[in-house]
Amino acid sequence: MIDLKFLRENPDVVRQSQTARGEDPALVGQLIAADEKRRSAIQAADELRGEQKAFGKKIGQASPEERPALLEGSNELKTRVKEAEAAQAEAEAKVNELQYKIPNPIQGAPAGGEEDFVVLEHVGEVPEFDFEVKDHLDLGESLGIIDMKRGTKIGGARFYYLAGDGAWMQLGMLMLAAQKAREAGFKLMVPPVLVRPEIMQGTGFLDEHDEEIYYLERDDMYLVGTSEVALAGLHQDEIIDLSDGPLLYAGWSSCFRREAGSYGKDTRGILRVHQFDKLEMFAYCKPEDAEEMHQKLLGLEREMLAAVEVPYRIIDVAAGDLGSSAARKFDTEAWVPSQDTYRELTSTSNCTTFQARRLNIRYRDENGKTQTAATLNGTLATTRWLVAILENNQQADGSVRVPAALQPWVGKEVLGA
């Protein structure tokens, strides 16, 4: 939720952000006008309540002869107070409605849509093969570690089994991520995967991604598409202690996405599926520390990608592809040989105070005054990483070299040798 004080002081900044995102800049003026009306309504209601309180004292001090007329005036004043309070509630509801329509103002993100990202860096060498490259599904099926056919039989399209060494590779990857997170000061969490509507709304996922979310109507609950949701809701309505530095969490959970509208796109294999596992970093910090924390999360993602030995690039995601909560987002995209292109493996987002304002998460500054915290998130490992690991480490005989960092869990140096 956008900070109204920031909006009033920087309307042009927010308009420029709206334009960069491809959103309606006119909403800025509408919200400013609604906020002015709300403040006027609050003042009017406060004045009438003060008048009502003073009038009540006057009645208490009046003589028996004066009271009937005063009581009649009191009833009239009571009606006016109710009307003013109703006007205040209506004005506040309008402000709230418009606040939820304006996404987080961007901070340094390039303007444009999905294709307007900026490549910041290439890391690692793209492999060259002197044999016909197989995609991850052909490799996985031939090695007996991915079973899409039986997954489809059980759950429908885009469900799968990871079997044997495939399961161990995923578990090893997630354990490696958990270890790195712990060494960096993150507390490991296994959070709920079902959350209430207000938690999903608070993180911004119902603003524009609700078609991606599984909703359990009978229980009025949502399945999370990332543990970011549950970790953001962890401190809802709390004043957290940031006096010793940021609060850092790493959530290990299964995640669920409907992948609505993506039929015919990336449907082969496990690149875009309905259920997957993920290790997600989440940070609460002071707003002035958010940019530094963002780089820390990106640095940890770099470490993990180096450990699993895949070439990748880092992109600065364009404003129109950010999602409503993020002010800036960096994606890391691994090279996928069978597609001859880079595909997203991780992202890390700086959500500034946007989520915490919605969820009422605050901290006390050095003067003891409550302030809204900043939140950030970043993926440290997830199922789709197997796509890049298998394809980049394949060998001419159809076997796959296991990255050294994963060998202790897989128990092998090569799959299928």
Query: Does 258 belong to an annotated binding site?
Result: yes
Q: Which listed residue (80, 272, 302, 343) is catalytic? A: 272
Residue 72 assigned to a binding site: no
Q: Is 18 annotated as a binding residue?
A: no
Whether 344 is a known active-site residue: answer yes
Q: Measure the CA angle with vertex 289, ends 283 and 290; round to 5°.
A: 55
Lookup: tokens for 132: 């016909």
122 is in an annotated binding site: no
**Does 17 appear as a known binding residue?**
no
Is 209 annotated among the ligand-binding residues? Answer: no
Residue 367 known to bind ligand: no
Confirm whether residue 274 is marked as ligand binding: yes
Catalytic, out of 325, 384, 391, 401: 384
Tell me the two tokens of residue 326: 């993020």
The answer to the question of whether 6 is labelled as a binding residue is no
CA 368 to chain centre: 29
Tell whether residue 259 is among the known ligand binding residues.
yes
Start-to-end CA distance of the chain, whole Å, equals: 54
The verdict on whether residue 276 carries a ligand-binding annotation is: yes
92 is in an annotated binding site: no
Asked whether residue 208 is marked as a ligand-binding residue, the answer is no
* Rg (alpha carbons) of the chain, rounded to whole number: 27
Q: Does 376 belong to an annotated binding site?
A: no
Is 384 annotated in the active site?
A: yes
Tell whether residue 346 is among the known ligand binding residues.
yes
Judge whether 332 is annotated as a binding position: no
97 is known to lie in a ligand binding site: no
Catalytically annotated residue among 17, 253, 347, 349: 347
257 is catalytic: yes
Whether 380 and 395 have beta carbons less than 8 Å apart is answered as no
Catalytically annotated residue among 268, 344, 364, 399: 344
Give CA–CA dist 130/143, Å, rounded: 21
CA pair distance 384, 173, nearest whole angstrom:
11
Are 274 and 257 in contact by the 8 Å Cβ rule? The answer is yes
Active-site annotation holder among 257, 357, 362, 401:
257
Q: Using CA of residue 249, residue 255, residue 260, residue 263, what is the dihedral sign?
A: positive
**Which residues are known binding-site members?**
226-228, 257-259, 273-276, 280, 344-347, 377, 379
**Which residues are known binding-site members for L-serine?**
226-228, 257, 280, 377, 379
Q: Which residues are catalytic?
A: 257, 272, 344, 347, 384
**Which residues are known binding-site members for ATP?**
257-259, 273-276, 344-347
